[in-house]
Protein backbone atom coordinates (compact mmCIF):
# COMPACT_ATOMS: atom_id res chain seq x y z
CA UNK A 1 0.00 0.00 0.00
CA UNK A 2 1.19 3.52 -0.81
CA UNK A 3 -0.09 6.86 0.50
CA UNK A 4 -1.51 8.75 -2.46
CA UNK A 5 -3.50 11.90 -3.17
CA UNK A 6 -6.56 11.48 -5.34
CA UNK A 7 -5.15 13.36 -8.31
CA UNK A 8 -2.08 11.12 -8.09
CA UNK A 9 -4.21 7.97 -8.10
CA UNK A 10 -6.04 9.22 -11.19
CA UNK A 11 -2.72 9.90 -12.91
CA UNK A 12 -1.47 6.43 -12.00
CA UNK A 13 -4.62 4.93 -13.51
CA UNK A 14 -3.99 6.77 -16.77
CA UNK A 15 -0.32 5.76 -16.85
CA UNK A 16 -1.05 2.09 -16.17
CA UNK A 17 -3.70 1.96 -18.89
CA UNK A 18 -1.57 3.87 -21.42
CA UNK A 19 1.26 1.44 -20.71
CA UNK A 20 -1.05 -1.56 -21.08
CA UNK A 21 -2.95 -0.42 -24.18
CA UNK A 22 -1.40 1.76 -26.93
CA UNK A 23 -4.90 2.78 -28.06
CA UNK A 24 -5.42 4.88 -24.92
CA UNK A 25 -4.76 8.60 -25.27
CA UNK A 26 -5.75 11.84 -23.52
CA UNK A 27 -7.01 15.05 -25.05
CA UNK A 28 -8.17 18.36 -23.64
CA UNK A 29 -7.05 21.85 -22.76
CA UNK A 30 -3.59 21.99 -21.17
CA UNK A 31 -3.39 18.22 -20.55
CA UNK A 32 0.05 17.96 -22.13
CA UNK A 33 2.89 20.29 -21.21
CA UNK A 34 0.95 21.99 -18.40
CA UNK A 35 -0.16 18.67 -16.91
CA UNK A 36 -3.86 19.40 -16.55
CA UNK A 37 -5.65 22.08 -14.55
CA UNK A 38 -5.36 19.87 -11.42
CA UNK A 39 -2.16 18.04 -12.46
CA UNK A 40 -3.85 14.73 -13.21
CA UNK A 41 -1.74 14.35 -16.38
CA UNK A 42 1.46 15.96 -15.05
CA UNK A 43 4.61 14.79 -16.91
CA UNK A 44 2.78 12.10 -18.90
CA UNK A 45 3.63 13.84 -22.18
CA UNK A 46 7.32 13.34 -21.44
CA UNK A 47 6.77 9.58 -21.35
CA UNK A 48 4.17 9.13 -24.09
CA UNK A 49 4.64 12.10 -26.40
CA UNK A 50 2.41 14.81 -27.74
CA UNK A 51 0.36 12.48 -29.94
CA UNK A 52 -0.99 10.65 -26.88
CA UNK A 53 -1.32 13.77 -24.70
CA UNK A 54 -3.09 16.10 -27.09
CA UNK A 55 -3.37 19.76 -26.11
CA UNK A 56 -6.50 21.12 -27.78
CA UNK A 57 -7.87 24.57 -28.58
CA UNK A 58 -10.54 26.01 -26.28
CA UNK A 59 -13.32 24.31 -28.26
CA UNK A 60 -15.04 21.61 -26.20
CA UNK A 61 -17.61 20.69 -28.85
CA UNK A 62 -14.87 20.20 -31.45
CA UNK A 63 -12.40 18.09 -29.50
CA UNK A 64 -15.15 16.01 -27.84
CA UNK A 65 -16.53 15.23 -31.29
CA UNK A 66 -13.00 14.37 -32.46
CA UNK A 67 -12.59 11.98 -29.50
CA UNK A 68 -15.90 10.27 -30.25
CA UNK A 69 -14.83 9.76 -33.86
CA UNK A 70 -11.53 8.32 -32.66
CA UNK A 71 -13.41 5.92 -30.37
CA UNK A 72 -15.53 4.76 -33.30
CA UNK A 73 -12.35 3.78 -35.17
CA UNK A 74 -11.07 1.64 -32.29
CA UNK A 75 -9.06 4.06 -30.15
CA UNK A 76 -9.82 4.64 -26.46
CA UNK A 77 -9.81 8.38 -25.80
CA UNK A 78 -9.92 10.11 -22.42
CA UNK A 79 -11.40 13.61 -22.64
CA UNK A 80 -10.58 16.03 -19.84
CA UNK A 81 -12.85 19.00 -19.32
CA UNK A 82 -10.69 21.66 -17.67
CA UNK A 83 -13.87 22.26 -15.68
CA UNK A 84 -16.88 19.98 -16.06
CA UNK A 85 -19.14 22.98 -16.61
CA UNK A 86 -17.36 23.66 -19.89
CA UNK A 87 -18.53 20.30 -21.21
CA UNK A 88 -22.02 21.74 -21.54
CA UNK A 89 -20.60 23.22 -24.74
CA UNK A 90 -20.22 19.63 -25.95
CA UNK A 91 -23.65 18.44 -24.77
CA UNK A 92 -24.75 17.64 -28.32
CA UNK A 93 -21.67 15.52 -29.01
CA UNK A 94 -21.96 13.66 -25.69
CA UNK A 95 -25.71 13.09 -25.85
CA UNK A 96 -26.48 12.65 -29.56
CA UNK A 97 -23.21 10.99 -30.53
CA UNK A 98 -21.40 9.27 -27.65
CA UNK A 99 -24.58 8.04 -26.00
CA UNK A 100 -26.51 7.00 -29.08
CA UNK A 101 -24.14 5.92 -31.86
CA UNK A 102 -23.95 2.28 -30.77
CA UNK A 103 -27.75 2.07 -30.99
CA UNK A 104 -28.36 4.24 -34.05
CA UNK A 105 -25.70 2.31 -35.99
CA UNK A 106 -27.37 -0.99 -35.20
CA UNK A 107 -24.42 -2.05 -33.07
CA UNK A 108 -21.86 -1.45 -35.83
CA UNK A 109 -20.01 1.20 -33.83
CA UNK A 110 -18.99 1.48 -30.19
CA UNK A 111 -17.77 4.62 -28.43
CA UNK A 112 -15.38 3.53 -25.65
CA UNK A 113 -14.66 7.03 -24.35
CA UNK A 114 -14.11 8.39 -20.84
CA UNK A 115 -15.16 11.98 -20.21
CA UNK A 116 -13.78 13.31 -16.94
CA UNK A 117 -12.71 16.39 -15.06
CA UNK A 118 -13.16 18.58 -11.98
CA UNK A 119 -16.71 19.45 -11.02
CA UNK A 120 -18.97 20.10 -8.06
CA UNK A 121 -19.12 23.16 -5.85
CA UNK A 122 -15.60 24.36 -5.08
CA UNK A 123 -14.56 27.22 -2.85
CA UNK A 124 -15.60 30.51 -4.41
CA UNK A 125 -15.27 29.34 -7.98
CA UNK A 126 -18.49 31.04 -9.02
CA UNK A 127 -21.61 29.67 -10.67
CA UNK A 128 -20.15 28.63 -14.04
CA UNK A 129 -17.29 26.72 -12.38
CA UNK A 130 -19.50 25.01 -9.76
CA UNK A 131 -21.67 22.83 -11.97
CA UNK A 132 -23.12 19.44 -11.04
CA UNK A 133 -23.56 17.86 -14.44
CA UNK A 134 -24.94 14.57 -13.16
CA UNK A 135 -28.38 16.22 -13.22
CA UNK A 136 -27.93 17.12 -16.90
CA UNK A 137 -26.65 13.79 -18.19
CA UNK A 138 -28.62 11.23 -16.18
CA UNK A 139 -31.50 11.29 -18.66
CA UNK A 140 -29.29 10.67 -21.72
CA UNK A 141 -29.65 7.08 -23.00
CA UNK A 142 -26.47 5.08 -23.48
CA UNK A 143 -24.21 6.87 -21.00
CA UNK A 144 -22.72 5.41 -17.83
CA UNK A 145 -22.05 7.83 -14.96
CA UNK A 146 -19.77 7.21 -11.99
CA UNK A 147 -18.59 9.46 -9.17
CA UNK A 148 -15.35 8.78 -7.33
CA UNK A 149 -14.95 9.81 -3.70
CA UNK A 150 -11.60 8.42 -2.51
CA UNK A 151 -8.15 7.86 -4.03
CA UNK A 152 -8.78 4.10 -3.88
CA UNK A 153 -12.04 4.06 -5.79
CA UNK A 154 -10.90 6.85 -8.12
CA UNK A 155 -8.09 4.70 -9.51
CA UNK A 156 -10.06 1.45 -9.73
CA UNK A 157 -13.08 3.08 -11.34
CA UNK A 158 -11.02 5.08 -13.81
CA UNK A 159 -9.18 1.98 -15.03
CA UNK A 160 -12.45 0.10 -15.41
CA UNK A 161 -13.98 3.03 -17.31
CA UNK A 162 -11.09 3.08 -19.77
CA UNK A 163 -11.51 -0.64 -20.46
CA UNK A 164 -15.28 -0.76 -20.94
CA UNK A 165 -16.87 -0.48 -24.38
CA UNK A 166 -19.43 2.02 -23.09
CA UNK A 167 -19.12 5.82 -22.98
CA UNK A 168 -18.48 6.79 -19.35
CA UNK A 169 -18.65 10.13 -17.57
CA UNK A 170 -16.39 10.14 -14.51
CA UNK A 171 -17.27 12.87 -12.01
CA UNK A 172 -14.36 14.07 -9.87
CA UNK A 173 -14.99 16.63 -7.16
CA UNK A 174 -12.74 19.65 -7.27
CA UNK A 175 -12.32 19.64 -3.46
CA UNK A 176 -11.25 15.99 -3.23
CA UNK A 177 -8.09 16.06 -5.37
CA UNK A 178 -5.88 16.51 -2.31
CA UNK A 179 -7.62 13.79 -0.30
CA UNK A 180 -4.99 11.27 0.87
CA UNK A 181 -5.46 7.52 1.31
CA UNK A 182 -3.54 4.27 1.08
CA UNK A 183 -3.84 2.72 -2.38
CA UNK A 184 -2.62 -0.76 -3.38
CA UNK A 185 0.59 -0.69 -5.39
CA UNK A 186 -0.54 -3.65 -7.49
CA UNK A 187 -2.95 -2.81 -10.37
CA UNK A 188 -6.67 -3.34 -9.65
CA UNK A 189 -10.03 -2.40 -11.11
CA UNK A 190 -13.46 -1.88 -9.53
CA UNK A 191 -16.97 -2.51 -10.80
CA UNK A 192 -18.60 0.41 -12.59
CA UNK A 193 -22.07 -0.64 -11.46
CA UNK A 194 -21.59 -1.42 -7.77
CA UNK A 195 -22.27 0.77 -4.76
CA UNK A 196 -19.96 0.67 -1.72
CA UNK A 197 -21.22 -0.17 1.75
CA UNK A 198 -19.17 2.36 3.71
CA UNK A 199 -20.61 1.66 7.17
CA UNK A 200 -23.06 -0.97 8.40
CA UNK A 201 -25.86 0.07 10.73
CA UNK A 202 -29.42 -0.70 11.70
CA UNK A 203 -31.26 2.61 12.24
CA UNK A 204 -31.35 4.30 8.84
CA UNK A 205 -29.84 3.98 5.34
CA UNK A 206 -27.96 7.07 4.13
CA UNK A 207 -27.39 7.16 0.38
CA UNK A 208 -24.74 9.57 -0.86
CA UNK A 209 -21.84 10.02 -3.30
CA UNK A 210 -18.79 12.12 -4.14
CA UNK A 211 -17.85 14.85 -1.62
CA UNK A 212 -21.04 14.33 0.41
CA UNK A 213 -19.69 10.93 1.47
CA UNK A 214 -17.25 12.79 3.70
CA UNK A 215 -19.89 15.17 5.05
CA UNK A 216 -22.03 12.14 5.92
CA UNK A 217 -19.09 10.47 7.70
CA UNK A 218 -18.48 13.66 9.67
CA UNK A 219 -22.15 13.81 10.67
CA UNK A 220 -22.08 10.11 11.56
CA UNK A 221 -19.43 10.68 14.21
CA UNK A 222 -21.87 12.99 15.98
CA UNK A 223 -24.79 10.61 15.50
CA UNK A 224 -22.88 7.60 16.86
CA UNK A 225 -21.84 9.60 19.93
CA UNK A 226 -25.54 10.28 20.52
CA UNK A 227 -26.49 6.61 20.24
CA UNK A 228 -27.62 6.36 16.62
CA UNK A 229 -26.48 3.63 14.22
CA UNK A 230 -26.71 4.73 10.56
CA UNK A 231 -25.79 2.61 7.56
CA UNK A 232 -23.92 4.50 4.82
CA UNK A 233 -23.86 3.62 1.12
CA UNK A 234 -21.70 5.44 -1.41
CA UNK A 235 -23.64 5.10 -4.68
CA UNK A 236 -20.51 5.41 -6.89
CA UNK A 237 -22.54 4.32 -9.94
CA UNK A 238 -25.02 7.10 -10.67
CA UNK A 239 -26.26 5.42 -13.83
CA UNK A 240 -27.17 2.63 -13.57
CA UNK A 241 -27.90 2.74 -9.83
CA UNK A 242 -27.08 -0.38 -7.81
CA UNK A 243 -30.61 -1.05 -6.56
CA UNK A 244 -29.58 -4.47 -5.21
CA UNK A 245 -27.27 -3.00 -2.57
CA UNK A 246 -29.76 -0.23 -1.81
CA UNK A 247 -32.66 -2.67 -1.44
CA UNK A 248 -30.72 -4.97 0.89
CA UNK A 249 -29.98 -2.04 3.17
CA UNK A 250 -33.51 -0.60 3.18
CA UNK A 251 -34.99 -4.02 3.90
CA UNK A 252 -32.84 -3.97 7.06
CA UNK A 253 -33.29 -0.36 8.23
CA UNK A 254 -36.66 0.55 6.67
CA UNK A 255 -35.71 4.23 6.65
CA UNK A 256 -33.81 6.30 4.07
CA UNK A 257 -32.01 9.62 3.84
CA UNK A 258 -30.45 10.77 0.55
CA UNK A 259 -27.61 13.30 0.77
CA UNK A 260 -26.35 14.87 -2.46
CA UNK A 261 -24.63 17.99 -3.74
CA UNK A 262 -26.79 17.87 -6.86
CA UNK A 263 -29.77 20.21 -7.24
CA UNK A 264 -33.02 19.09 -5.68
CA UNK A 265 -35.09 19.55 -8.84
CA UNK A 266 -34.24 16.83 -11.36
CA UNK A 267 -31.19 15.64 -9.42
CA UNK A 268 -29.92 12.16 -8.58
CA UNK A 269 -31.97 12.25 -5.37
CA UNK A 270 -35.19 12.73 -7.33
CA UNK A 271 -34.46 9.65 -9.42
CA UNK A 272 -33.54 7.63 -6.34
CA UNK A 273 -36.71 8.61 -4.50
CA UNK A 274 -38.82 7.54 -7.46
CA UNK A 275 -37.08 4.16 -7.73
CA UNK A 276 -37.32 3.48 -3.99
CA UNK A 277 -41.01 4.39 -3.94
CA UNK A 278 -41.68 2.15 -6.94
CA UNK A 279 -39.78 -0.93 -5.82
CA UNK A 280 -39.44 -0.67 -2.04
CA UNK A 281 -42.49 1.25 -0.84
CA UNK A 282 -43.71 -1.58 1.38
CA UNK A 283 -40.35 -1.68 3.17
CA UNK A 284 -40.49 1.96 4.30
CA UNK A 285 -41.46 2.90 7.84
CA UNK A 286 -40.99 6.64 7.29
CA UNK A 287 -41.05 9.19 4.44
CA UNK A 288 -37.83 9.32 2.41
CA UNK A 289 -35.60 12.20 3.51
CA UNK A 290 -33.54 14.08 0.94
CA UNK A 291 -30.93 16.81 1.38
CA UNK A 292 -29.82 18.55 -1.82
CA UNK A 293 -28.17 21.78 -2.88
CA UNK A 294 -30.36 24.83 -3.29
CA UNK A 295 -31.86 25.37 -6.75
CA UNK A 296 -29.84 28.51 -7.38
CA UNK A 297 -26.64 29.31 -9.29
CA UNK A 298 -23.78 28.85 -6.82
CA UNK A 299 -22.88 32.25 -5.34
CA UNK A 300 -19.32 33.54 -5.40
CA UNK A 301 -19.58 34.74 -1.79
CA UNK A 302 -18.09 32.09 0.51
CA UNK A 303 -20.81 32.54 3.13
CA UNK A 304 -23.65 32.32 0.61
CA UNK A 305 -21.96 29.42 -1.18
CA UNK A 306 -21.86 27.43 2.05
CA UNK A 307 -25.56 28.08 2.57
CA UNK A 308 -26.44 26.50 -0.78
CA UNK A 309 -24.65 23.19 -0.04
CA UNK A 310 -25.62 20.50 2.51
CA UNK A 311 -23.57 20.74 5.73
CA UNK A 312 -22.88 17.97 8.30
CA UNK A 313 -25.10 19.54 10.98
CA UNK A 314 -28.03 19.47 8.53
CA UNK A 315 -27.44 15.75 8.00
CA UNK A 316 -27.56 15.13 11.76
CA UNK A 317 -30.88 16.95 12.03
CA UNK A 318 -32.32 15.23 8.96
CA UNK A 319 -31.49 11.76 10.34
CA UNK A 320 -33.24 12.61 13.59
CA UNK A 321 -36.25 13.95 11.69
CA UNK A 322 -36.64 10.76 9.61
CA UNK A 323 -36.31 8.60 12.72
CA UNK A 324 -38.89 10.68 14.59
CA UNK A 325 -41.36 10.25 11.73
CA UNK A 326 -41.04 6.46 11.75
CA UNK A 327 -44.35 4.62 12.08
CA UNK A 328 -42.68 1.44 13.37
Rounded to the nearest 5 degrees, what angle is found at the Cα of 227, between the Cα atoms of 254 and 288? Answer: 25
pLDDT at 184 over 70: yes
Q: What positions carry a catalytic annotation? A: 60, 129
Q: What is the pLDDT of residue 100?
A: 94
Rounded to the nearest 5 degrees, what angle is found at the Cα of 280, between the Cα atoms of 141 and 254? Answer: 130
pLDDT tens per residue across span 37-47? 999 999 999 99
pLDDT at 18 over 60: yes
Least confidently predicted of 12-21, 105-114, 115-124, 222-231: 115-124
pLDDT tens per residue across span 259-281? 999 998 989 999 999 999 999 99
Going by pLDDT thresholds of 50, 70 and 90, the confidence category of residue 24 is: very high
Task: Report CA 48 to chain centroid distance, whole Å.
Answer: 27
All domains of the chain in start order, with CATH? 2-183 (3.40.50.970), 196-324 (3.40.50.920)
Q: What is the pLDDT of residue 161?
A: 98
CA distances from 96 to 10, 93, 142 (A): 28, 6, 10
- Average pLDDT value for residue range 240-259: 97
Q: What is the pLDDT of residue 233?
A: 98
Percentage above 90 pLDDT, the chain = 88
- Average pLDDT value for residue range 190-215: 97
Percentage above 70 pLDDT, the chain = 99
pLDDT tens per residue across span 58-106? 999 999 999 999 999 999 999 998 998 999 999 999 999 999 999 999 9
Distance CA 130, CA 211 (A): 13
Amino acid sequence: MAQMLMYESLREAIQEEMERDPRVFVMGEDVGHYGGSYKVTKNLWKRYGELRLLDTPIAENSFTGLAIGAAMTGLRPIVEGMNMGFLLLAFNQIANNAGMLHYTSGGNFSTPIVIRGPGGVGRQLGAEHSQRLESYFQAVPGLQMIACSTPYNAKGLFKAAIRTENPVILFEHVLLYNLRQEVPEAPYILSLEKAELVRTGTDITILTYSRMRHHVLQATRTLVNEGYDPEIIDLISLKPVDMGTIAASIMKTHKVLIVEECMRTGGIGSTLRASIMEYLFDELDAPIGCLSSQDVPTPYSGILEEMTVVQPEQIVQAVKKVLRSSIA
